[in-house]
């Protein structure tokens, strides 16, 4: 019984140390560009453009992957965008929702609606940037 009472705390310390090590070695979420959220948002449009390019050659899976990259990057700037302009935030979110719906339904043979939605997202972001500075 004494051995059991000795082993439990050691095991707990080992488990805590293991998870602390895992978290310490996990890469930070990808951030695009500088610390300026407006610059990062502008840089994120590259992912939207890559998604459009993938659709142009019929690679729907790659287009979805590139948009997912944009979506992950958006998470790093959306609070700053919302704080500066609730209207711009809402417009970008609405455009993103449209892209998600169109990409979900996109097929290799018909990608024009998804491309249009991605183009609108790029334009929405470009139109919003001056209001976010």
CA 96, CA 122: separation in Å to the nearest integer? 10
Domain count, the chain: 1
User: In a 10 Å sphere around its CB, with 0-12 CB exposed, 13-18 middle and 19+ buried, how is residue 26 labelled?
Assistant: exposed
Which residue range is the domain that position 17 belongs to?
2-132
Distances (CA, A) of 69 to 114, 126, 128: 16, 18, 20
Q: Which residue has the higher pLDDT, 117 or 9?
A: 117
Whether pLDDT at 40 is above 80: yes
Q: Residue ranges of the alpha helices (H) in the chain?
A: 2-24, 37-56, 60-84, 86-105, 112-132
Q: In the prediction, which pLDDT does 6 show?
A: 63
Share of the chain above pLDDT 70, in %: 74
Angle, helices 86-105/60-84, rounded to nearest 10 degrees: 170
Which pair of structure tokens corresponds to residue 62? 């790659």
pLDDT in tens, 2-39: 665 665 656 556 565 555 655 454 444 444 445 788 99
- Give the span between the Cα atoms of 117 and 100, in whole angstroms: 9
Q: Taking the complete model, does pTM exceed 0.85, yes or no? A: no
- How far is the C-alpha of 30 from the C-alpha of 34, rounded, in Å? 11
| Predicted local distance difference test score (pLDDT) of residue 30 | 43
In the structure encoding, which two tokens stand for residue 64, read together?
């979805």
Q: Which two tokens stand for residue 127?
A: 């139109």
Q: How many CB atoms lie within 10 A of CB 97?
A: 12
Q: Which residue has the higher pLDDT, 26 or 40?
A: 40
Q: What is the CATH number of the domain that holds 82?
A: 1.20.120
């Amino acid at each position: 019984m004494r051995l059991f009472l000795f082993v439990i705390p050691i095991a707990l310390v080992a488990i805590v140390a293991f998870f602390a090590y895992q978290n310490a070695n996990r890469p930070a979420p990808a951030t695009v560009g500088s610390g300026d959220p407006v610059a990062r948002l502008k840089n994120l449009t590259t992912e939207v453009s890559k998604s459009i390019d993938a659709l142009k050659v019929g690679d729907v899976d790659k287009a979805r992957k590139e948009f997912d990259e944009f979506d992950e990057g958006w998470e790093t700037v959306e609070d700053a965008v919302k704080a500066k302009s609730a209207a711009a935030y809402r417009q970008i979110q609405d455009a993103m929702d449209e892209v998600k719906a169109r990409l979900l339904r996109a097929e290799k043979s018909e990608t024009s609606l998804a491309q249009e939605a991605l183009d609108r997202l790029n334009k929405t972001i470009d139109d919003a940037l001056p209001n976010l500075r």
